Amino acid sequence: MFDLDKWQEIFETIRKNKLRTILTGFSVSWGIFMLIILLGSGNGLQNGVLNQFKRDAVNSLWIYSGRTSLAFDGMQAGRRIQFTNEDYDKTKNSGLDVDKISSRFSVFRNNLISYKSEYVNYEIIAVHPDTETLENTTAIKGRFLNDIDVENFRKVVAISTILEDALFKREEPVGKYVKINGIPFLVIGTFTDHNDRDMQRVYVPISTAQKVFNGANRISNMSFTTNTHDIDALKKMEEHIRNSFASRHKFDSSDRRAMWINNNMEGYQRTMALFSGIRIFVWIIGVFTIIAGIVGVSNIMIIVVRERTREIGIRKALGASPSSIIGLVLFESVLITSVAGYLGLVMGVVLLEVLAPHTQIEFFMNPSVDLDVGLTATAVLVFAGLLAGFFPAWKAASVRPIEALSDE
């Protein structure tokens, strides 16, 4: 393997056939390059879509009310369905696999929030403490709402870091009072969120908002997490919830416009199945592209052996062993595939790294590929190059010297 004369001979052969070697190497480089780009693009698409799921808990169901589209029990279609605190209590104590749960009441007034001489207009959302999990918010300073805040109707508020910058500038917000529609609320903490829209809101206890902002017992919607990951079990849970709400609010349980349920877990699993298919498709395309390059290497090795038939005959006549003949052809094949494959790998990784900062869009972000995957693909490529060169090499080693010397 470390025979200097043999390597010199290989390089001399490559030097004499520069164009052929470059074109062969390019086909191999292009194969691994395209595989890396396809894998990176697939990962970028997956990262972008999964980032959308980070906005809310993946294992959550969100329940929304609407208007009836079907007549029911003597009542006309078009009735507005209004959820209440009873729906929250009944669902929480339903015996279903309910983990974290929160109802929501949106304050649709001026939504004016002020501190000293600073004024902003943000969304005011009244919730239960489990919203912190449901919305995937992260407390930065202080804390989020807790059960005592809800039980005691406390006038407290959790604000986003964006609102902190807008109102408090460089002041410490926790422990200060802000006015929400003219009513003072104590800031108990700041939070951040994956969803930019959720950063444009503040959270207050639902019991407080219902009392202060004339919400009575009304809620806008409700959500909860579950430890159930089986889609069939989730479907049964949805049906149970729908029947329960239909019974309380007197609408047809088949009326999807009266109430709809968004099942994040079902959407997540469907998305993961989709990306599994995409990854398989990408690998199929990438592998066939690499195979095309390997076929090119094999064809070139056949041509090389054909061109050097007389030379091989002379070598064998002078006592060269079959293994040395095979090694000469194999080393050239491996050299071309390994160098070309490595170049393709490097170019693909570099291109992804250059593009990554400029592709942070909503459904496509951080296109990248695991380096281990790239190195493994390159190693497989080199092995394939070894196989591509073996058969021409074996044919060269098996030729009889008299036949090789008489070859024209």
pLDDT for the residue 191: 95
pLDDT for the residue 41: 81
- 176 with 212, same domain: the answer is yes
- 179 with 247, same domain: the answer is yes
pLDDT for the residue 53: 58
pLDDT in single tens digits along all 408 residues of the chain: 456 666 676 677 677 777 777 877 787 788 788 888 888 887 887 777 666 655 656 778 899 999 999 999 888 899 999 999 999 999 999 888 888 999 999 887 668 899 988 999 989 999 999 999 888 888 999 999 999 999 999 999 999 999 999 999 889 999 999 999 889 999 999 999 877 788 889 999 999 999 998 888 999 999 998 888 778 888 888 899 999 999 999 999 999 899 999 887 777 777 777 777 877 877 787 777 767 767 776 777 777 666 666 666 777 677 767 777 777 777 777 777 788 888 888 888 888 888 777 766 666 777 777 777 777 777 777 777 777 677 777 776 676 666 555 555
The token pair at 379 is 């190693």
Q: For residue 193, what are the domain limits?
A: 60-264
pLDDT for the residue 402: 64
- 259 with 274, same domain: the answer is no
Give the DSSP letter of residue 173. Answer: -
- 204 with 114, same domain: the answer is yes
Pairing of strands 201-205, 123-127: parallel
Establish how many alpha carbons lie within 13 A of residue 406's alpha carbon, considering only the half-sphere containing its beta carbon: 5
264, 285, 305 — which closes off a domain? 264
Establish how many alpha carbons lie within 13 A of residue 368's alpha carbon, considering only the half-sphere containing its beta carbon: 12
Name the CA dihedral angle for 390, 392, 398, 402, rounded to a multiple of 10 degrees: -150
264, 299, 315 — which closes off a domain? 264
- 107 with 242, same domain: the answer is yes
Sign of CA dihedral 117, 122, 125, 131: negative
pTM of the predicted model as reported, rounded to 2 decimal places: 0.64
- 237 with 282, same domain: the answer is no
Domain count, the chain: 2
22 CB-near residues (< 8 Å, 6+ apart): none
Q: Please check whether residue 309 is in contact with residue 407, taking contact to mean a CB–CB distance below 8 angstroms.
A: yes
- 274 with 250, same domain: the answer is no
- 44 with 134, same domain: the answer is no
Maximum Cα–Cα distance across the chain: 106
In angstroms, rounded to a whole number, what is the distance separating the alpha carbons of residues 83 and 86?
Answer: 8
pLDDT for the residue 267: 73
**Phi, psi dihedrals of residue 159, rounded to the nearest 5°:** -115, 155
In angstroms, rounded to a whole number, what is the distance separating the alpha carbons of residues 154 and 174?
Answer: 15
- 260 with 119, same domain: the answer is yes
The token pair at 23 is 């074109």
- 196 with 82, same domain: the answer is yes
242, 264, 286 — which closes off a domain? 264
pLDDT for the residue 283: 76
pLDDT for the residue 403: 59
pLDDT for the residue 210: 93
- 112 with 230, same domain: the answer is yes
In angstroms, rounded to a whole number, what is the distance separating the alpha carbons of residues 42 and 275?
Answer: 8
